[in-house]
Amino acid sequence: MSDPKSDAPPAKKPGIRDWAEGVGANINETIRWCGGMAVMFGQAMARGPRRPWGLFDISYQILQLGIRSIPVTTMMSIFVGMILAWQFGEALADFGATNSIGYVTSLALVRELVPTLLAVTVGTKMATGMTAELGSMKVTEQIDAIAALGADPIKKLVWPRLVAACVAMPLLVAWGNVIAMLGGMLISEAVFDIPAGYFYNSYIDELEPIHYVMSQTKALVFGALAGIIGCYQGFSTKFGTEAVGQSTTETVIAVSVLVLIADFALTALFIPI
């Protein structure tokens, strides 16, 4: 063991060894984190779908997570619809093919942009809300109190939020798809002189059932991710109010990153080479 001495060499520069140690620790922590979350997900799935169903809690959470997110969903969707139609229209105009604007925007919006964009905004909002609420409950021992009173915190707190996120997210994405299309119609009519009705017809024409399935599957997965990350971060909050802020911040990063990774995986799954 090294004893700190006054004539010891000055603090050594961070060398490659420290870096390597840091990498190891980080990887270790990440794996632990994923494992912990998977365990919580497993517990929720095992203990949640049993009597009593807790329908009141679930519907309350759907109200909190879903209905309260409709305004932001609407705004995000109409703008992404308008922006994408404008960008595609501009590019298509070079080929004199602006009349196919509906075809190209539909696939990009329904399959990709609406679910993903809503997941990183609305999904993150849901998840941070859960982390902040559950984290505060954790630091004030309310989660322990639920357990101490003989109830199951996973069943009482995690399950309703997870279900609500899985229900709310697909509904919001469905709503967002409609609104984004309206945004596209507005731009194609106003900017590129393509009649909104024609845009609508070509838009719907291009979409096949699998595209709706893909959109909704992504929404479901993103909703589940937001729900479980939000809850897990809340439950694993350490002591003190500062910790609540810290785990909430981590939730934002975790949801955004994992949504994109999951998005990649799902895209590869639905659109094989």
Site string for other proteins, 99-138 (x = CB under 8 A): -------------------------------------xx-
Taking CB under 8 A as the rule, does residue 242 contact other proteins?
no
Can you tell me the distance from the alpha carbon of 154 to that of 40, in angstroms, rounded to the nearest whole number? 8
Determine which residue in the list 29, 90, 144, 205 makes contact with other proteins, applying CB under 8 A. 144
Determine which residue in the list 38, 145, 178, 265 makes contact with other proteins, applying CB under 8 A. 145
Say if CB 252 and CB 124 are below 8 A apart. yes
Applying CB under 8 A, what is the total number of residues that bind other proteins?
A: 14
Burial pattern 152-163, b for ≥16 Cβ within 10 A else e, equals: ebbbbbbbbbbb
Nearer to other proteins, 90 or 141 (CB): 141
State the DSSP code for 68.
Answer: G
> Per CB under 8 A, which region of 84-92, 103-111, 147-155, 204-212 contacts other proteins?
147-155
Say if CB 115 and CB 218 are below 8 A apart. yes
Say if CB 194 and CB 101 are below 8 A apart. yes
Q: How far is the CB of 184 from other proteins (least distance, A)?
A: 41
Determine which residue in the list 1, 11, 16, 148 makes contact with other proteins, applying CB under 8 A. 148
Nearer to other proteins, 144 or 193 (CB): 144
> Per CB under 8 A, which region of 27-35, 99-107, 110-118, 148-156 contacts other proteins?
148-156
Taking CB under 8 A as the rule, does residue 16 contact other proteins?
no
Taking CB under 8 A as the rule, does residue 29 contact other proteins?
no
Nearer to other proteins, 45 or 257 (CB): 45
| Helical packing angle, 241-270 and 209-235, nearest 10° | 160
**Residues 6 or more apart in contact with residue 127 via CB below 8 angstroms:** 165, 226, 227, 229, 230, 233, 251, 252, 254, 255
42 — alpha (psi -120 to 50), left (phi > 0) or beta? alpha
Task: Please give the residue ranges that form the binding site for other proteins (CB under 8 A).
Answer: 136-137, 140-142, 144-152
